[in-house]
């Protein structure tokens, strides 16, 4: 805190309206053009988040339409875009000289002799600023704010030297958050690859034969190859009426994704089941330890001759093969026959238990790493926000 106190000590701050510190400002709000497959990117407020502009999920317009709607008022490098409709108050910095356009946005071209873009970004990103703008939106279905409500926003203007120092400190925090996220993502990918390697190795015919021989040299050590339907029952779930589902309840209802469709007062399957989604996210595999309701797009697998958790790991190891069996259509589908006819290697019950125990440990490592990611990012983000509020808390005189 001493460094912050030193930066802000005796700093003279002038407050100016946002409109007064712009050399240009205007709505980016043309009539919706005709979209084409490839061309000039066309964004909306949904493409703006945390100072960045997402160009991966955009529509495209022709050069002629671009010329017509931009009317020689191009979006330039170092401009700032603010979302004004729907997602109000999100801010994006234009970092590159690329040709694009959009709608539902307000463009700010700041006077660099007065304020730094990055200083404005950090100040404007404060939650109190965004919530203040949202509170001013009108009551239409989407909700929007007027240009005047943005232009009359008062902005503190310390010296450019102080702005640079503040930006330097806050950028270090944001860079650290980004680096940490990249490191944790890399760690998660490494854990996933390690887990998948050992899972596939442990379930291979070569390993199962070798391990069976080592463990049960005095007994019948052979492994059996058979179709899944020969050692397990594959049951299709039962559809429920959506109106019968609740947002909170005792038993989750699974339909065509890993996310519960809702909750129901009853169950149709007990826990310890391997499941395959047969429509929508067809071919996706999951395991339920607890009781649940499976709807008709879920195939539930149960066996009294083989561990259901072993079946689950077998299915995961063969997920690429299973995905090739999915019929491509408007709603992708996987037939029960395809699942029933999958060939599975069945070792002794003792070896199944050993393999499941090892793979459970690997899966726990992956889950732990995945859990660390949002927690650690949130922790560092809160740290950044704390220092941002301290550095940008200029009293009005």
Looking at the domain assignment, is residue 340 inside a domain? Answer: yes
96-134: pLDDT as tens digits = 999 999 999 999 999 999 999 999 999 999 989 989 999
> What pLDDT, on a 0 to 100 scale, did the predictor assign at position 218?
47
Looking at the domain assignment, is residue 177 inside a domain? Answer: no
Mean pLDDT on 226-251: 92
Q: Are residues 23 and 152 in the same domain?
A: yes
**Among residues 157, 189, 215, which one ends one of the domains?**
157
Mean pLDDT on 72-80: 92
Q: Where are the alpha helices (DSSP H) in 61-216?
A: 63-70, 117-124, 127-134, 147-151, 160-202, 205-215
- Distance (Å, rounded) from C-alpha 128 to C-alpha 392? 12
Q: Does residue 78 carry a pLDDT above 70?
A: yes
Mean pLDDT on 209-229: 73
Q: Determine which of 46-50, 278-282, 375-379 has the lowest per-residue pLDDT on average.
A: 375-379
Looking at the domain assignment, is residue 81 inside a domain? Answer: yes
Segments forming the whole domain that contains residue 241? 224-346
Mean pLDDT on 173-186: 83
- Average pLDDT over all residues of the chain: 88
328-348: pLDDT as tens digits = 888 899 999 999 999 998 988
- Whether 66 and 126 have beta carbons less than 8 Å apart is answered as no
Phi and psi (nearest 5°) for 252? -70, 145
Looking at the domain assignment, is residue 311 inside a domain? Answer: yes
Q: Please state the pTM of the whole predicted model.
A: 0.64
Q: Determine which of 166-170, 177-181, 215-219, 350-354 has the lowest per-residue pLDDT on average.
A: 215-219
Looking at the domain assignment, is residue 148 inside a domain? Answer: yes
Give the domain CATH number at 313.
Answer: 3.90.220.20
Q: Does residue 397 carry a pLDDT above 70?
A: no
**Among residues 113, 141, 157, which one ends one of the domains?**
157
Looking at the domain assignment, is residue 360 inside a domain? Answer: no
Q: Are residues 143 and 231 in the same domain?
A: no
Q: How far is CA 357 from the centre of its chain?
A: 30
Mean pLDDT on 316-337: 91
Looking at the domain assignment, is residue 139 inside a domain? Answer: yes
270-299: pLDDT as tens digits = 999 999 999 989 999 999 999 999 999 999
Q: Are residues 28 and 137 in the same domain?
A: yes
Q: Are residues 26 and 137 in the same domain?
A: yes
- Whether 264 and 249 have beta carbons less than 8 Å apart is answered as yes
DSSP per-residue letters across 70-104: HTT----TT-EEEE-BSSTT-EEE--S----EESS
Burial class, 394, CB count within 10 angstroms (exposed 0-12 / middle 13-18 / buried 19+): middle
Percent of the chain topping pLDDT 90: 56
Looking at the domain assignment, is residue 149 inside a domain? Answer: yes
Half-sphere exposure of 277 (CA within 13 A, CB side): 19
Total domains, the chain: 2
């Amino acid at each position: 805190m001493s460094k912050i106190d030193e930066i802000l000590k005796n700093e003279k701050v002038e407050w100016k309206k946002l409109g007064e510190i712009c050399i240009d400002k205007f709505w980016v709000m043309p009539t919706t053009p005709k979209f084409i497959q490839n061309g000039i990117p066309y964004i909306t407020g949904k493409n703006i988040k945390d100072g960045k502009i997402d160009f991966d999920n955009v529509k495209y317009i022709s050069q002629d339409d671009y010329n017509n709607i931009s009317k020689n008022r191009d979006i330039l490098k170092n401009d700032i875009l603010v979302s004004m409709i729907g997602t109000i108050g999100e801010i994006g910095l234009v970092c590159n000289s690329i040709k694009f356009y959009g709608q539902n946005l307000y463009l700010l071209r700041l006077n660099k002799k007065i304020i730094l873009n990055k200083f404005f970004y950090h100040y404007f990103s404060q939650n109190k600023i965004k919530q203040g703008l949202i509170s001013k939106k009108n009551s239409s279905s989407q909700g929007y704010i007027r240009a005047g409500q943005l232009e009359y926003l008062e902005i503190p203007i310390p010296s450019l030297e102080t702005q640079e120092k503040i930006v330097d400190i806050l950028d270090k925090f944001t860079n650290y958050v980004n680096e940490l996220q990249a490191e944790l993502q890399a760690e998660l990918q490494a854990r996933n690859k390690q887990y998948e390697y050992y899972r596939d190795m442990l379930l291979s015919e070569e390993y199962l034969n070798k391990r069976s021989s080592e463990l049960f040299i005095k007994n019948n050590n052979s492994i059996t190859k058979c179709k899944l339907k020969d050692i397990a029952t594959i049951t299709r779930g039962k559809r429920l009426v959506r109106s019968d589902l609740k947002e909170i309840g005792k038993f989750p209802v699974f339909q065509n994704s890993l996310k519960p469709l809702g909750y129901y007062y009853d169950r149709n399957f007990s826990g310890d089941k391997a499941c395959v989604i047969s429509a929508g996210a067809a071919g996706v595999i999951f395991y339920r330890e607890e009781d649940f309701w499976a709807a008709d797009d879920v195939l539930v697998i149960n066996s009294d001759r083989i561990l259901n958790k072993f079946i689950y790991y077998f299915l995961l190891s063969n997920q690429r093969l299973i995905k090739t069996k999915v019929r491509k259509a408007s709603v992708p589908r996987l037939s029960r026959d395809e699942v029933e006819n999958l060939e599975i290697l069945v070792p002794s019950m003792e070896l199944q238990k050993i393999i499941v125990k090892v793979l459970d440990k690997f899966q726990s490592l992956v889950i732990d790493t995945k859990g660390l990611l949002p927690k650690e990012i949130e922790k560092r983000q809160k740290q950044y926000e704390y220092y941002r509020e301290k550095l940008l808390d200029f009293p009005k005189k």
